[in-house]
Amino acid sequence: MKKLSLHGFNNITKSLSFNIYDICYTKTEHRKNYIQYINQSYNAERLTRILHEVTDIIGATVLNVARQDYEPQGSSVTMLIAEQSTPDQNTENREEPGPVPETVVAHLDKSHITVHTYPESHPYCGISSFRADIDVSTCGCISPLRALNFLIHSFESDIVVVDYRVRGFTRYEDGTKLFIDHEINSIQNFFSEDIRARYTMVDVNLYEENLFHTKMMPSQFHLDDYLFDYDKAPLNETERLEAERLLKHEISEIFYGRHFKDRMAPS
């Protein structure tokens, strides 16, 4: 791709924000076990390792890390990152899937990555969930969408809500403003084939505002994928039907972002 002739530095900001949800069915006595499992599996130490991988994928250098595990549940990690000098690397901004999880190096300016986790459970019906909020914000030549596939593979992702926004502007040498430095038609074009096959996706895009939004839910439902800690006490057929009803209801509410009465929940 032809190098842009700019006046000064490319200071366009590209921000990727998404929520990842993991949904499980747990009996009352298993809820604490689920929360404990999530706290151990996605503690601040492991989240930090994941974000270090992300910095490698997008070609950044870590300047500072702040991380914290909370009581009774949840964790947070924030990284301040900066440009990594890699003059021989290809910095093309093609609308194609990023690595899963091979390392790709490119140029960045001062940027940040954050992740916060929110385990929770329904008070009585057996549904438990885990939400991870992730933000990757970069300035410079590439989009943080390069890290999207790696992050989805790094978490137990049942429902994913993705927002991508390009903000600010830079200038050509003649003073003309440039508000976006790469082509993008849909966030979906950055997903790998296995992710596209796994999810049903819906877009809401405002092209004139450089705003892109994609919601994802599993294209197939397999009850056993959502049962937690049932090896020693399997559900009978009646319990399985009830668990499936509750899980599908929960998935619909999260995907559509609204509360449904049972009779109103989409099938």
Catalytic residue numbers, as ranges = 111, 116, 139
Q: What angle do CA 107, 110, 112 make, to 5 degrees?
A: 105
Q: Distance between CA 103 and CA 98 in Å, rounded?
A: 10
**Structure token digits, residue 258:** 């609204």
Termini Cα distance of the chain: 46
H-helix or E-strand spanning residue 236:
none
In the chain, how long is the greatest CA-to-CA distance? Answer: 72
Residue type, 229: D
Which candidate, 100, 89, 95, places its Cα nearest to that of 54?
Answer: 100
Q: Distance between CA 99 and CA 78 in Å, rounded?
A: 22
20 contacts 152 by C-beta, under 8 angstroms: yes
Which candidate, 151, 161, 147, 157, places its Cα nearest to that of 213?
Answer: 161
The three-class DSSP label of residue 107 is coil
As beta bridge partners, residue 162 has: 18, 214
**Structure token digits, residue 16:** 């990727």
